[in-house]
């Protein structure tokens, strides 16, 4: 994990200071005057002068950096620019180079997984999609830990496998829902999770969640487990509303059934099977840990 601020510190600042130190020396500044202008020690100026500080060639040759060095050097030499103004000008350029520009490119090279996102803006926006996406992934991981650490969960996994899914707040397709690729299976009594949560990898459980949301249910997560009468009885005994739907209905059975209902925060829908259809129970709730926690009442 590397922060874009580290790119600024490691690549931009030493390069900018080295170029500016050289520019000021060319204008007749002494070593102590350069040190005072840059706010660094004379020993640091000496290192810049002798090439002992690592610089970045792409930063050094960027026309905007070259122009800024010239303008700041001239301003400091003539007294037309104060150190505060020089700092502001440098900060403005840094912000520009961070936003989908040179520093953003250098950051993506250090963190290739950022390439598919909107660079600096997506990382720094507290309400941005990238942050929300990663929060949903994290929530699914927490739910998975709860399930895999719950003794006996493997026995609740249906033949088709289980999946734990959670949606983005504005989800309207399976691409907006994080799930387990390949589903969770019972392997010799152990719940086996084949991979990290991804978006767009669940059609079945994600579809049930989308149907419930389309019906007006305020839910963001779902989990499918086995169906039998005892499971439903235990869930009802624990206070969860359990609603049966017909999987052979010609339209969207979950959406049709839940529309206009006054539903609790966490509830259950189930179907007892049909022609070629395995009976399944679905737990729906506000997030992945909440629906995973419901499993504990069955074990």
What is the Cα–Cα distance from 16 to 64, expressed in whole angstroms? 11
* Vertex 41: Cα angle to 38 and 47 (nearest 5): 95
What is the Cα–Cα distance from 155 to 6, expressed in whole angstroms? 48
The confidence score (pLDDT) of residue 127 equals 54
Flag whether the pTM goes above 0.85.
no
Give the start-to-end residue ranges of the domains of the chain.
Answer: 4-116, 129-297
Rg (CA), the chain: 29
Which DSSP category does 39 fall into? T
The fourth-level CATH superfamily of domain 129-297 is Class II aldolase/adducin N-terminal domain (3.40.225.10)
pLDDT 10s digits, 210-228:
999 999 999 999 999 999 9
The confidence score (pLDDT) of residue 24 equals 92
The confidence score (pLDDT) of residue 116 equals 59
Nearest to 176 by CA among 201, 196, 194: 201
The confidence score (pLDDT) of residue 275 equals 79
| Strand, coil or helix: 244 | strand
The confidence score (pLDDT) of residue 75 equals 86
pLDDT 10s digits, 18-75:
999 999 999 999 889 988 888 888 888 888 888 888 999 999 999 999 999 999 998 8
- Segments of the chain scoring below 50 in pLDDT: none
What is the Cα–Cα distance from 122 to 109, expressed in whole angstroms? 16
The confidence score (pLDDT) of residue 121 equals 52
The confidence score (pLDDT) of residue 211 equals 96
């Amino acid at each position: 994990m590397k922060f874009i601020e580290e790119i600024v510190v490691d690549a931009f600042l030493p390069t900018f200071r080295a170029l500016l130190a050289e520019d000021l020396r060319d204008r007749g500044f002494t070593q102590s005057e350069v040190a005072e202008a840059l706010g660094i020690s004379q020993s640091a100026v000496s290192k810049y002068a002798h090439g002992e500080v690592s610089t970045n060639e792409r930063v050094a040759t960027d026309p905007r950096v070259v122009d800024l060095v010239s303008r700041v050097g001239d301003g400091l030499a003539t007294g037309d620019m104060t150190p505060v103004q020089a700092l502001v000008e440098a900060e403005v350029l840094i912000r520009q180079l961070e936003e989908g520009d040179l520093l953003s490119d250098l950051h993506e090279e250090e963190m290739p997984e950022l390439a598919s996102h909107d660079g600096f803006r997506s990382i720094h926006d507290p309400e941005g999609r990238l942050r929300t996406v990663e929060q949903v992934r994290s929530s699914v991981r927490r739910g998975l830990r709860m399930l895999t650490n719950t003794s006996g969960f493997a026995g609740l996994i249906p033949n088709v496998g289980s999946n734990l899914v959670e949606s983005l707040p504005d989800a309207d397709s399976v691409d907006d829902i994080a799930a387990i690729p390949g589903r969770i299976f019972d392997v010799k009594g152990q719940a086996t999770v084949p991979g990290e949560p991804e978006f767009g990898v669940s059609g079945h459980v994600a579809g049930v969640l989308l149907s419930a949301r389309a019906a007006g249910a305020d839910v963001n997560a779902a989990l499918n487990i086995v169906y039998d009468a005892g499971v439903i009885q235990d869930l009802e005994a624990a206070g969860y509303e359990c609603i049966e739907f017909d999987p052979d209905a010609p339209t969207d059975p979950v959406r049709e059934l839940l529309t206009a209902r006054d539903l609790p925060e966490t509830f259950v829908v189930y179907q007892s099977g049909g022609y070629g259809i395995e009976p399944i129970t679905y737990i729906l709730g506000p997030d992945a840990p909440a629906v995973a926690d419901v499993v504990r009442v069955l074990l």
